[in-house]
Structure 1
Amino acid sequence: MHSDPIVPKGAAYFPLETDAPTRQYAFVLVPGFTLLAFSSAVDPLRIANQLSQKPLYRWQVLSETGEPVASSSGISICVNQRIAPLPRATRLFVCSGNPPQAATAPAIVSMVQRHARFGGMVGGICTGAIALAKAGLLNDRAFTLHWENQPAFCETFPELRPTTALFEGAGAVMTCGGGAAATDMMLSIIEQDHGAEFAGIVSDMCLRKVMVGPRPEQRSSTAILLQSRNPGLLAVVGLMNSHIEDPLSLPELAERAGYSRRHIERMFLSVLGETPGNYYRGLRLDRARNLLSTTDMSLLDVATACGFGSVAHFSKSFKSRFGFPPTKFDRVVSGFRGV
């Protein structure tokens, strides 16, 4: 069941000459989906209709049961119907959030597989890429999902590596990191459909002065996060972040970064107020906390993934940083391993 196209009235108007048929969209809401990401994907379509005063886009909202779906903010959204086979021309997006494993519900994965098999376009918003991965649609393809969930995703799907881009893909498969990146992804689609000038006006209506495109990364740069432009410090921290599972010793860091050990120690103490070893250990423990909150990995697996040689050493370090041992960590958000 497709609802009628929504073409609201508005003061702004862009006379768009087109006889293209109305493009169909379907958004599958998964329990715990991110409300910001969902609305950021839908509203550019609404704005496009409003600006042109034409039914350029029509959308429907689906859920596995046909019942309203609660977002991660506790706000529930009513849907048009339960999931069902869609016409091939429909662009299907899975909208997910936390818990990420909700996107791997068998009925949702089957729907995605079927739609792709019959030539339909499929996409993932926020952690919706997990449904696409489970459906086997991300092999040998650039894709992304929210940075918060990427460590757990890589542990669960070790053969797949998401990018840090805001969104990825064109044509048959598209993914975005969620949040406001959903708007950037939809603007890119509107540009493909109706041109850069029209998409630019839609972007202005979203109060996004510049259409950023897919390549900017989801997270602020290390330089901004550390509030430092010291090239030596940034080089060493970059090495640390890329060697979480297999930590490098300080001499190895010094050799690869091209600085003396003593110089690195002085940089960390003067800029960050702690030793390189303490900072590195903090990065690894923060990754461990992420994995504990987003997966059902064992303590041994988490310790190994974060470069600790034993559970005992990991537990002691974890308690020192967070004030309680990992065995007491409230794992409210269970993982999606083995689903």
Structure 2
Amino acid sequence: MPEKPRAAARNRLALIPEGAFSYPIDRPGPTRWFGFLLLPEFTLLAFSSAIDPLRIANQLAGKPLYGWLVLSEDGQPVPASAGLEISAQAGLEALDPGVHLFVCSGNRGTEVATDRALAAIRKHSRFGGAVGGICTGAATLARAGLLDGKRFTLHWENQPGFTEAFPDLEPSSTRVERDGTLLTCGGGSAATDMMVDIIAADYGRDFAIAVADMCLNAPAPAPDREQRSSIAKAISSRNARLLHVLRSMYAHIEEPLTLDGLAENAGISRRQLERLFRLFLKESPATTYRNIRLDRAHSLLAETDMSVMEIALATGFSDVALLARHYKARFGQTPYGKRGKK
């Protein structure tokens, strides 16, 4: 695309909406541009969850911190998986290295990108453009040969089919993955987590929390957490006894049950309990139980004014030191660090 039309397309989307709440930024950088390549049957929720934090950041700052281009292969509308058609502002010819390109796709992520689209994505990367994937966008990046040796993720529902198609590539189970400039997420609200993480890196944690609050998201998202909770994994396993044990774990956080007690309540032996967890959750029941309690501690730290001692007691840890040790191993910082204390 000639430079003038490309610039015109960009300027049209450097939106600064008005709102009742503001959060001024003293030293805004140049407008940072993102491109969202919509592929047929892309997931609408994931796309909108990624684009709206950028709009909110501009609104809060009152400045064009971010701009975005909605792209399709040929500039024509693209049908989402929900049956709605979304208009594109430009075709692939509008790409330039200054745009961070995110590929958005859905359940047919391993097959919908055309050869032309793959060639454009490869060219964009080769000339220094950053790339990423939303929902199953990583499948298109894999087809383009851009994931070798990289950490990445895509929606958990589509990971089995992905690994069949790309046996040498292993997606992570986390909501968001960052490997250099490569950014991928599992879709849904994880797309918001990813964009809020970008905003935090650009303009600081406090501003990012303000954006997250406007999205009604957790004030301190943890992009590296698992896409699915233990109970969701158990539901997909269809194992009634495993579900029974997990429900007991969630019901007894403040006063944890012993593993023998959990097994007895489920009508199985402790050995059977260990086997079930290894088979379906790929970890020991003790690890799962501890992580459930740590996740509760993480939520209480973010959402309440409880002291760390009170949180330790509320999540079944005998003392603060024990909570701090396990919390740091899971989240990379102590409970005091999360609260901004030394």
User: Do Structure 1 and Structure 2 share a fold, with TM-score over 0.5?
Assistant: yes
1:241 aligned to which of 255, 269, 280: 280
Mapped partners of 2:203, 2:227: distance in 1? 26
Paired residue secondary structure (2:121): helix
Partner of 1:117: 126
Mapped partners of 2:178, 2:130: distance in 1? 11
TM-score relative to the length of structure 1: 0.68
Contact 2:110 2:162 in 1 (8 A): no
Partner of 1:174: 183
Alignment: residue pair count: 246
1:24 aligned to which of 33, 37, 45: 33
Structure number with greater CO (CA < 8 Å, separation at least 6) is 1
The letter for the 1-side match of 2:78 is V
Per-residue Cα deviation, 1:280-329 (whole angstroms, up to 9, x for no partner)? xxxxxxxxxxxxxxxxxxxxxxxxxxxxxxxxxxxxxxxxxxxxxxxxxx
Contact 1:96 1:102 in 2 (8 A): no
The letter for the 2-side match of 1:9 is E
The letter for the 2-side match of 1:235 is E
Mapped partners of 1:170, 1:188: distance in 2? 13
2:95 aligned to which of 86, 94, 108: 86
Task: Give 1:238-317 correspondences, 5 Å limit.
Answer: 238-241=277-280
Contact 2:34 2:99 in 1 (8 A): yes
Per-residue Cα deviation, 1:265-291 (whole angstroms, up to 9, x for no partner)? xxxxxxxxxxxxxxxxxxxxxxxxxxx
TM-score relative to the length of structure 2: 0.68
Classify 1:227/1:242 alpha carbon distance in 2 versus 1 (closer, same or farther; 3 Å): closer
Structure 2 residue 50 is the aligned partner of structure 1 residue 41: yes
1:209 aligned to which of 212, 218, 224: 218
Mapped partners of 1:100, 1:234: distance in 2? 37
Matched-pair identity in %:
48
Per-residue Cα deviation, 1:252-274 (whole angstroms, up to 9, x for no partner)? xxxx989xxxxxxxxxxxxxxxx
Question: CA offset at residue 224 of structure 1?
Answer: 6.7
Structure 2 residue 229 is the aligned partner of structure 1 residue 190: no
Structure 2 residue 166 is the aligned partner of structure 1 residue 127: no
Question: CA offset at residue 216 of structure 1?
Answer: 1.1
Question: CA offset at residue 97 of structure 1?
Answer: 0.4
Classify 1:110/1:201 alpha carbon distance in 2 versus 1 (closer, same or farther; 3 Å): same
Partner of 1:152: 161
Per-residue Cα deviation, 1:3-26 (whole angstroms, up to 9, x for no partner)? 341110000100111241001111
Mapped partners of 2:36, 2:52: distance in 1? 13
Mapped partners of 1:202, 1:60: distance in 2? 20
Question: CA offset at residue 101 of structure 1?
Answer: 3.0
Contact 2:234 2:281 in 1 (8 A): no
The letter for the 2-side match of 1:97 is G
Contact 1:31 1:102 in 2 (8 A): no
Unaligned runs of 5+ in 2: 1-5, 236-242, 250-261, 264-269, 286-342
Per-residue Cα deviation, 1:221-257 (whole angstroms, up to 9, x for no partner)? 14874242447566323432379xxxxxxxxxxxx98
Partner of 1:314: none
Partner of 1:75: 84
Contact 1:12 1:51 in 2 (8 A): yes
Paired residue secondary structure (2:67): strand
Contact 1:32 1:96 in 2 (8 A): yes
Mapped partners of 2:157, 2:70: distance in 1? 26
Task: Give 1:87-106 correspondences, 5 Å limit.
Answer: 87-106=96-115
Contact 1:94 1:124 in 2 (8 A): yes
